[in-house]
Structure 1
Amino acid sequence: MSLVTLLPFIVLIGAMFLMTRSAKKKQQQAEQMRNQMQPGSGVRTIGGMYATVKEVSDDTVLLDAGPGVELLFAKNAIGAVLSDDEYNRIVHGIEHDLKSDADIVPDDASSLTETDESAAEASDASGASDDKPVDLGKKDAAEEPADSAAETKAEEQPKKADGDSDAK
């Protein structure tokens, strides 16, 4: 057998090796995440339920899903361990104020680049007013007569009936 016939098999085996390696790495990361769960952590199950971890054992997790609702799940059923801020944002609707000391960003970008004084000087120097509406239409005076000429030429030609044909 030649190398050319073996090449597709070699490439296929290499691709399978890379895919299994990637999957194994993801499984290890998920296992590590599940082992780091502690009581009080917010979690999301693979089914999409959000709850708080109450107890953790070797293979199971006891979750508190609400007042008086405790559920026993397999550790493998935990899809993600959430940070406290993310859990509170999703479950309780509490936004953590990260920008309490930061400036408020304005809605229009022009105030980010110009100060009020420089904006006033620029409009005075150019003499242009921002109050005038800008016409962005594509009206071209040269095109309008050409269009109307084409319409009149089309009207001059006789209309054909259903049974008429050009054949002589």
Structure 2
Amino acid sequence: MLAAGTTPSAGGGIFSLIVPLVLMVAIFYFLMIRPQNKKQKQRNQMLSQLKKGDKIVTIGGLHGTIAEITDDVVVLRVNDVTKLTFDRNAISSAVSRETAQ
């Protein structure tokens, strides 16, 4: 029993609430935010290194070779006759020379 005039303790106060919250934020950062930033940086680097003649794949799955390229637009040669115009952000990946052969 408690003596008259005493109150039960809070059991650690506000620090016991802050520590789990800080741990959750740190885990969220290292498992989700940091890998996504790294992936976005690699994608931006790949898009900036594209040049005429590179073989690419669009986000829709179309395979082609870059015929013309500007800052915003890419013209793809799909076969000897067909050329298609895409936004530069529509490129999913560049096909490496080893994969293409």
| Shorter-chain TM-score range | 0.7 to 0.9
The percent identity for this pair of structures is 31
Q: Please say if 1:58 is aligned against 2:77.
A: no
Q: Deviations over 1:31-63 (max 9, x none)?
A: 101111111111111121110011111112111
Q: Deviations over 1:108-141 (max 9, x none)?
A: xxxxxxxxxxxxxxxxxxxxxxxxxxxxxxxxxx
How far has the Cα of 1:74 moved from its partner? 1.4
Q: Which amino acid in structure 1 is aligned with residue 39 of structure 2?
A: K
TM-score for both structures, normalised by structure 2: 0.76
Question: Could you say what the CA RMSD is over the residues aligned between the two structures, in angstroms?
Answer: 1.5
- Aligned counterpart for 2:49 among listed residues 36, 59, 62: 36
* Mapping of residues 118-137 of structure 1, within 5 Å: none
- Aligned counterpart for 1:9 among listed residues 21, 30, 36: 21
Which secondary structure does the structure 1 equivalent of 2:27 belong to?
Answer: helix
Q: State the number of aligned residues.
A: 88
Which secondary structure does the structure 1 equivalent of 2:78 belong to?
Answer: strand
Identify the residue that residue 35 of structure 2 maps to in structure 1: 22
Q: Deviations over 1:79-115 (max 9, x none)?
A: 1111223124xxxxxxxxxxxxxxxxxxxxxxxxxxx
Q: Which has the higher contact order (CA 8 A, sep 6+)?
A: 2
Which secondary structure does the structure 2 equivalent of 1:58 belong to?
Answer: coil
5+ residue gaps in structure 2? 1-12
* Mapping of residues 93-112 of structure 1, within 5 Å: none
Q: Is the 8 A contact 1:54 1:64 kept in 2?
A: yes
Q: Is the 8 A contact 1:60 1:74 kept in 2?
A: yes
Which secondary structure does the structure 1 equivalent of 2:44 belong to?
Answer: helix
Q: Tell me how far apart the structure 2 counterparts of residues 78 and 23 of structure 1 sit (CA, whole Å).
A: 18
5+ residue gaps in structure 1? 89-168
Q: Which has the larger radius of gyration?
A: 1
Query: Mean alpha-carbon deviation: is it higher for 14-23 or for 39-48?
Result: 14-23
Q: Tell me how far apart the structure 2 counterparts of residues 20 and 60 of structure 1 sit (CA, whole Å).
A: 29
Q: Tell me how far apart the structure 2 counterparts of residues 72 and 7 of structure 1 sit (CA, whole Å).
A: 53
